[in-house]
Amino acid sequence: MMRKILVAGNWKMHGSKSMVRSLLDGLLAGSSAQGKADLAVFPSFPYLSLAESILSGSHIQWGGQTLNPNAQGAHTGETSGNMLVDMGCRYVLVGHSERRAIYGESDEDVATRFNAAQDAGLEPVLCVGETLEEREAGETEAVVERQLDAVINRVGIDAFSRAIIAYEPVWAIGTGLTASPEQAQSVHAFIRDKLLSLNGIIADQLRILYGGSVKGSNAAELFAQGDIDGGLVGGASLTAEDFLAIYNAVA
């Protein structure tokens, strides 16, 4: 199965109107629908409308960084999946480690958001990954499995035909420490093998992205691994030059 590489930019809480305009203009100019990789960006909510107006009809997709699992109602400050769909989003991140660590989202909360995203018609990008302490304690696979099981038990394996997984070791996010291609591949293979035991076709088609200090200089080696189907990129997605270096690293 040839899975098309996806290069996804998680802008986190960065940006301004002028930055969004110049970044997206740069990405449109430097990439194409015929390219070897798909491209997606995840702006903060205030910039989704601007992203939609610039990217509509182009080959670049966009998504939200999180969602509230309720469809609507008295949830001041929150944004629903329906609203993201209304802004033209195809994707939404769920369970990013910053949401888990800073905003207290539990595995169950993440499963609820995954489910709500799909109910709204979005394709969730489920982020999983271990902390440095967990890796050093030899718990990487157990942690990733626990995070996956919470979602699988809630929505079932079939739901993964409309989802993406991003393996992001917490110790590699924003630190400049990238997992080696072998370390990343080993966890990606573990994830795919786990899903293979539940549904071979879905596991084979599922895109599993790696995230954690991906940059132009390490992307090619990471994407060359058999079970790494792209990257979820933070810091290096904030300028067109850095992000396109990753896009252009796709063999």
Residue positions annotated with a catalytic role: 96, 168
Q: Which is nearer to ligand PGA, 73 or 104 (CB)?
A: 104
DSSP state of 80: B
Q: Which is nearer to ligand PGA, 211 or 230 (CB)?
A: 211
Q: How many CA atoms lie within 13 A of 152 on its CB side?
A: 18
The whole-angstrom separation of Cα 230 and Cα 37 is: 8
Phi, psi of 40, deg, nearest 5: -145, 150
Least distance to ligand PGA, CB of residue 71, Å: 27
Q: How far is the CB of 175 from ligand PGA (least distance, A)?
A: 7
For residue 72, the minimal CB distance to ligand PGA (Å) is 28
Q: Which residue number has the CB closest to ligand PGA?
A: 234
Residue 83 C-beta: closest distance to ligand PGA, Å: 22
* Residue ranges with strand state E in the chain: 5-10, 37-42, 60-64, 91-94, 123-128, 164-167, 207-211, 230-233
Residue with tokens 């802008």: 11
**Which CB sits closer to ligand PGA, 100 or 192?**
100
What are the DSSP E strand ranges found in 74-150?
Answer: 91-94, 123-128
Complex with ligand PGA: residue 174 or 200, whichever CB lies closer: 174
**Which residues lie near ligand PGA (CB under 6 A)?**
10, 168, 173-174, 211-214, 232-236
